[in-house]
Amino acid sequence: MGIAEQIQTTLDGRWGEVRQQLRAQLDPDTFGPPAGLIPLDEHRQRTLDAVLQMTKTDAPRDGLTIEQGGTNEHGASVTAFEMLGHADLSVYVKAGVQFGLFGGAVANLGTQRHWDEYLPGMLDGTLLGCFAMTETGHGSDVQSLLTTATYLPDSDEIEINTPSLPARKDYIGNAARDGHIAAVFAQLVVDGENHGVHCVLVPIRDDSGEPRDGVTIGDCGAKMGLRGVDNGRLTFDHVRVPRLNLLNRYGTIDDDGRYHSPIENPSRRFFTMLGTLVRGRISVAGGAGAATRTALTLAITYGLHRKQFTAPDSEREVTILDYRGHQRKLFPRLARSYALMLAQNALVEQMHRIAAGEETSEEAQRELEARAAGIKALTTEHATDTIQVCREACGGAGYLSVNRFADLKADTDVFTTFEGDNTVLLQLVAKGMLTGYKEAFHELDTRGAFFFGARQVTEAVIERTIGGSLIQRLISGSPGRDADNALSDRGGHLDLFEDREKHLLETLAMRLRRAGDDDADGFTVFNDAQPHLLLTARAHIERVILEAFVSAIDATPEGEARDLLDRVCDLYVMSTIEENRAWFLEHGRLSASQAKGVTASVDELCDALRPHAQTLIDAFAIPMAWRETELLEFLGETSEDDGQGVARRSATQDEAVSAER
Amino acid sequence: MGIAEQIQTTLDGRWGEVRQQLRAQLDPDTFGPPAGLIPLDEHRQRTLDAVLQMTKTDAPRDGLTIEQGGTNEHGASVTAFEMLGHADLSVYVKAGVQFGLFGGAVANLGTQRHWDEYLPGMLDGTLLGCFAMTETGHGSDVQSLLTTATYLPDSDEIEINTPSLPARKDYIGNAARDGHIAAVFAQLVVDGENHGVHCVLVPIRDDSGEPRDGVTIGDCGAKMGLRGVDNGRLTFDHVRVPRLNLLNRYGTIDDDGRYHSPIENPSRRFFTMLGTLVRGRISVAGGAGAATRTALTLAITYGLHRKQFTAPDSEREVTILDYRGHQRKLFPRLARSYALMLAQNALVEQMHRIAAGEETSEEAQRELEARAAGIKALTTEHATDTIQVCREACGGAGYLSVNRFADLKADTDVFTTFEGDNTVLLQLVAKGMLTGYKEAFHELDTRGAFFFGARQVTEAVIERTIGGSLIQRLISGSPGRDADNALSDRGGHLDLFEDREKHLLETLAMRLRRAGDDDADGFTVFNDAQPHLLLTARAHIERVILEAFVSAIDATPEGEARDLLDRVCDLYVMSTIEENRAWFLEHGRLSASQAKGVTASVDELCDALRPHAQTLIDAFAIPMAWRETELLEFLGETSEDDGQGVARRSATQDEAVSAER
């Protein structure tokens, strides 16, 4: 097995076999982007056809438990859908709506009767559904949705109503054209009392495809991207459905018309319900990561072939990937893509353990939600940034639709704000950290430990779910933060990332405590601290990502592949520190000369990774058929390389690694 | 005159009247983006129609000298085309190709006979032209173009040929559908000798619109954006044109078939020719700036109306622009847009003086070219970044085509790499600085000043073309870099920006001097220093931009408008320092506590500008008809504001300014 294949094994992770299957199964003619701009309705039909093809794979069924008619292979399911992120992203999103959001709502918020009635049609595509949560007036603040679901005891029905224009359900995938039923989130009112947001299944089209009485369906029309997804708008005019259409796992109306819930506190109930839907967020990060890897593969391939300007005192034209400026654009982003992919793998494993019932603690679920939010935010932000840079790295050729960046960019653009706006998600992460901090504080306090510093509290609150003992060992073995070689040791890196997170959390907690003061305006205190709060969430997720990277390297057999991964990890570490070095300088964590050293080492790592660029993109193992473009057209003519050359050079690079060591 | 109008006067600059005319002239039905996605050919026709409408305005003729049949009002011309940046950007780009690039090539590289023959048709749109410079294999490195123009003495003709596939002219606007003639850049070979790249006029279509014999025309097809522009590919198979078709201002073939040039040195000749085409680059920056202001106007308007989440202990939903995180996304970018617009105005004035013959020195031209390159790079980079952030700031609504961001983003995306790739342009800026440095060094040296430091050289090389004496006075009057209040004084800001530029330039020059060492590999020395070099160029342009901002404020009458502009300038300064604070810390220019103070003052300035947000976008004076969207749809229902409210609040804010002072 070559170096690239060995690295691929690490990147593919626990469900590598599923990835391999999908690499073979996803026929580009069906799942790939259409050739050129086709009429909107044709693109929508094509997307639907591909989604229906997915029903023939294991992926949808793998995402359900045995009782739900599935196989309980949740990790395999999410991994399979992630692979669609390399295909036409419209297929990826529409499949996500059908199997992930609609199917997920029925599976996670419903009970056996819903599973029996709706999941078979969801699985085989005979029942196409929508996930109607967002309204024109409320997206991030789901608790404030305006749509109502009022129980009518006389007819034993629930009446769904859109009370005002901002209450219109908006941007709903599968609504404009194909969906026949919608999982509608609405304020549940029973006997005059509002029990908060619940989900009700509402048929929206009849068998002939016409909107049902009382349902008005609009079309969101042209969007920046995702042309194949039929986003629409739903307005309900006192539409009645049977009481049993309430997805009633967390709140039910009994035969006597009384509301019951296993969770007393309405706010806790709401967040528990929302928490079960975490898989959608995880999938978005997966798809964004896949699209980013496609873009990097294309741009680095182009960089390996395109030449421009001759070197001084030479007739030789320079390959653009040899320019430090060009390497600086692509390599740190490549390293970050590695880091994010490995963190995503760890996240999917964590999700799988909980979904499969292997892990059941509330803490584990809470941590999963926070981590999913954070990784979704950082991965989608990275996608937008990196795909942009990749486009620019291919110049005018990058601007032509045939070369894929146009779609990659436009399709993934909305990922930063759907399934949770990134800023709101990072706030969620920070709030979770603060809760943990408060609890640890309280716990230490009640244990009688009156005299402890903030640091002890954060020590207690830092959780190392990924590779805990390994990370602890590395940190303990590191030379210490003040040592000269602190920056050249993995334990020192981990320590630095963790120390930053702790300091940010401690000082954030102190700042926010002021909100409790009598004369303080709670909103002003929060608002002034918002940038600090967002930074704290980032620092936390950066640490989690690094731990996932380090753990994955540790699980890779010793040898050249592992050594190369280690250097990619170095680049992730150094470029992350470089980006944040102002903070490290301001807080006395790095001296000026150390900070300059970080910049120098990013340069050195770019140089060191340059000969392995082909290997590092080969390890993504994106089938050639999925990345056909005209990017290399005619470049061969002026280049010494041909297609063969790339393959040959890849081998030579592996030899070079050996030679260097 | 209200505060917004007073600020508008400053922003509109010297050709404010032209802006006002265009605001009235540009009918959105003709110049605005088409409603929804229309078929490609229809969009191209619509774009052509709009370009032909432009022939009825003064703009094209204003861009030519009297001898060329124009009015010599170059600044007015560029300003008018900049206003097209608020319209459908396809129109802006196609007009740029016809009047700016094709027309500019004939005007600047041709002589009287070309002006007489071609410019009238260029002006009235009866002769549609292309600018055929870029080839598939060479874009940035124009000197290495492969197309040949060989003089044939027997027939007194020039033969244009595409010797290989990478020599194909690519991405050529106006080529795929409408152009009848092309200004083709090619290696001019006379009597077996290559005289370097020259420009030759080559008819590419006959009267019926069919490609002429020997000319193969391809279509670049779908692109990320700019759908209305018919980019194409041109291949020439030994196509002959009369000798007189050579645009011969800088190199001619006489009646005896001998080559002559007023500029002996081929490299200098080439750069002089290229330098005359600087206006295209200036226009791209103008259009990018205009598009960015449209995006900011939309996103800030949305932020002023959209509410989400209630404040703690309150039923009140918070207007999203009240969130510090949201302000942090939009306000520093708004401040930078102000800064860039004022720098652009100064650049256009400088260009005008040279084009109109008011300024004739070679130095002035060289400085114009460097400045145009730098401002183009920073403005287009800012456009890509800001339009993206604005889209995200509008969430799902920002993703719908009807709300404009889709087109703004896709259309401007290519601006970062066309008319000069931004990285290559920044290199050009830095190289210009190094040349100046070397010359100053040499000059001081020959004056016998043997014992001088690098600092004296940079003192000599810093040019202050904008507001020179004002800037000098402010710096001299500043409390000095080490003073406690250095950061709260405009002179201190200017000093800090300038000091950074000088330090970067000095150390860069030292680094590159090593390339002359015997054992040094020139490419490696350059390549290792490339990030340093790019940073030096940025620091230079940031300084130039700040000087333009300060000068424009100085020219604004004292009062509230000027005070508000001063605060916007503060935010530009502080957010620029904040972004680069790692550098200032590493180089002992800021202490850790000063650096933290910079971050705090960005927060404070966001807070202080919040009440003036409406005023600050009103000052862009983008006609309401050009920015119709559905962004505010239904927001009024949950909001206390209606359309009236915005206008009212604007007035209240002005009162607030008075009250605060």
B416–A392 CB contact, under 8 Å: yes
pLDDT band at B661 (very low <50, low <70, confident <90, very high): very low
A224–B399 CB contact, under 8 Å: yes
A137–B638 CB contact, under 8 Å: yes
Identify which of B396, B416, B585 has the shortest CB distance to residue A582.
Answer: B585
- Decide if B3-127 and B130-275 have a common fold: no
Closest CA to A90 of A174, A181, A175, A20: A174
A417–B395 CB contact, under 8 Å: yes
The number of C-beta contacts closer than 8 angstroms across A and B is 230
As a dihedral over the C-alpha atoms of residue A80, residue A85, residue A86, residue A88, rounded to 10 degrees, the angle is 120
**Window A:17-36, CB contacts with B under 8 Å:** 36
Above 70 in pLDDT, residue A523? Answer: yes
Identify which of B224, B401, B413 has the shortest CB distance to residue A222.
Answer: B401
CB-CB contact of A274 with A251 (8 Å) = no
User: What percentage of chain A has pLDDT greater than the value 90?
Assistant: 83
pLDDT tens-digit map of A483-502: 777 898 999 999 999 999 99
Above 90 in pLDDT, residue B628? Answer: no
Point out which residues pair with A253 in neighbouring strands: A259
A224–B416 CB contact, under 8 Å: no
Distance CA A368, CA B553 (A): 52
Residue B407: closest C-alpha in chain A: A224
A222 touches chain B (CB under 8 A): yes
Above 50 in pLDDT, residue A69? Answer: yes
Q: Under CATH, which number does the domain B3-127 receive?
A: 1.10.540.10
The DSSP result for B406-435, as a single string, is: HHHHHHHGGGGTSSS-HHHHHHHHHHHHHH
Identify which of A136, A165, A399 has the shortest CB distance to residue B413.
Answer: A399
Distance CA B8, CA B1 (A): 10
> What proportions of chain A, in percent to the nearest 5, are helix, strand and coil?
60, 10, 25
pLDDT tens-digit map of A284-315: 999 999 999 999 999 999 999 999 999 877 88
B595–A603 CB contact, under 8 Å: no
A218 touches chain B (CB under 8 A): no
Cα of A333 to nearest chain B Cα, Å:
16
Cα of B288 to nearest chain A Cα, Å:
16
The DSSP result for A297-337, as a single string, is: HHHHHHHHH-EEEEPTT-SPEEEGGGSHHHHHHHHHHHHHH
Residue B438: what pLDDT? 85
Residue A445: what pLDDT? 62
Only one residue has tokens 């927001």, namely: B635
Closest CA to A218 of A235, A206, A205, A201: A235
Average pLDDT score over residue span A512-519 = 81
Distance CA B344, CA B19 (A): 14
Question: What residues contact residue A287 under an 8 Å CB cut-off, 6+ apart?
Answer: A81, A82, A84, A85, A89, A92, A93, A96, A412, A415
Residue A587: closest C-alpha in chain B: B592
Rounded to a whole number of angstroms, the CA Rg of chain A reads 26
B591 touches chain A (CB under 8 A): no
Instruction: Kindly report the CATH class assigned to B278-420.
Output: mainly alpha
Residue B580: what pLDDT? 98
Residue B312: what pLDDT? 79
CATH superfamily of A3-128: Acyl-CoA dehydrogenase/oxidase, N-terminal domain (1.10.540.10)
Long-range Cβ contacts of B629-633 (<8 Å, 24+ apart): B629/B298, B629/B402, B629/B403, B629/B404, B630/B397, B630/B400, B630/B402, B630/B403, B631/B298, B631/B301, B631/B302, B631/B394, B631/B397, B631/B398, B631/B403, B632/B301, B632/B302, B632/B305, B633/A136, B633/A165
Residue A634: what pLDDT? 78
Contacts of A284 in chain B (CB under 8 A): none
Identify which of B221, B395, B531 has the shortest CB distance to residue A401.
Answer: B221
pLDDT tens-digit map of A175-189: 999 999 999 999 999
The identity of residue A59, as a single letter, is: A
Contacts of A629 in chain B (CB under 8 A): none
pLDDT band at A633 (very low <50, low <70, confident <90, very high): confident
B325–A534 CB contact, under 8 Å: yes
Identify which of B405, B582, B592 has the shortest CB distance to residue A224.
Answer: B405
B165–A384 CB contact, under 8 Å: no
Above 80 in pLDDT, residue B644? Answer: no
Average pLDDT score over residue span B216-236 = 97
For residue A659, give both structure tokens.
Answer: 């030679």
Distance CA B59, CA B74 (A): 9
B216 touches chain A (CB under 8 A): no
pLDDT tens-digit map of B17-36: 999 999 999 999 999 999 87
Question: What residues contact residue A133 under an 8 Å CB cut-off, 6+ apart?
Answer: A142, A145, A169, A185
pTM assigned to the model: 0.94
Residue A513: what pLDDT? 87
pLDDT band at B439 (very low <50, low <70, confident <90, very high): confident
Residue to mutate among A90, A235, A400, with most B CBs inside 10 A, is: A400
Residue B578: closest C-alpha in chain A: A582
Q: Are strands A181-190 and A193-203 parallel, antiparallel or unpaired?
A: antiparallel
CB burial class (10 A; 0-12, 13-18, 19+) of residue B223? Answer: buried
**What is the maximal distance between C-alpha atoms in chain B?**
91
Distance CA B105, CA A77 (A): 59
Identify which of B221, B311, B587 has the shortest CB distance to residue A400.
Answer: B221
Residue A446: what pLDDT? 60
Residue A168: what pLDDT? 97
pLDDT tens-digit map of A637-657: 444 443 333 332 333 333 333
Q: Under CATH, which number does the domain B424-618 receive?
A: 1.20.140.10
The mean pLDDT of chain B is: 92
CB-CB contact of A298 with A394 (8 Å) = yes
First and final CA of chain A: distance in angstroms?
A: 19
A322 touches chain B (CB under 8 A): yes
Tell me the Ramachandran region of residue B221: left when phi exceeds 0, alpha when psi lies from -120 to 50, beta otherwise. Answer: left
CB-CB contact of B419 with B433 (8 Å) = no
Residue A533: closest C-alpha in chain B: B325
Average pLDDT score over residue span B54-77 = 97
Average pLDDT score over residue span A416-434 = 96
| All structural domains of chain A with their residue ranges | 3-128, 130-275, 421-555
B37 touches chain A (CB under 8 A): yes
Distance CA A8, CA A108 (A): 33
For residues A334-364, one letter each, b for 16 or more C-beta atoms within 10 angstroms of the residue's C-beta and e for the rest, the string is: bbbbbbbbbbbbbbbbbbbbbbeeeeeeeee
Residue B324: closest C-alpha in chain A: A527
CATH of region B130-275, choose from 2.40.110.10, 3.40.605.10, 3.30.2130.10, 2.40.30.10:
2.40.110.10
CB burial class (10 A; 0-12, 13-18, 19+) of residue A36? Answer: exposed
**Window B:107-146, CB contacts with A under 8 Å:** 134, 136-141, 144
pLDDT tens-digit map of B572-627: 999 999 999 999 999 999 999 999 999 999 999 999 999 999 999 999 999 998 88
The identity of residue B591, as a single letter, is: S
For residue A183, give both structure tokens.
Answer: 């999982």
Residue A453: what pLDDT? 59
pLDDT tens-digit map of B313-349: 788 899 999 999 999 999 999 999 999 999 999 999 9
Residue to mutate among B634, B639, B641, B642, with most A CBs inside 10 A, is: B634
Contacts of B592 in chain A (CB under 8 A): 585-588
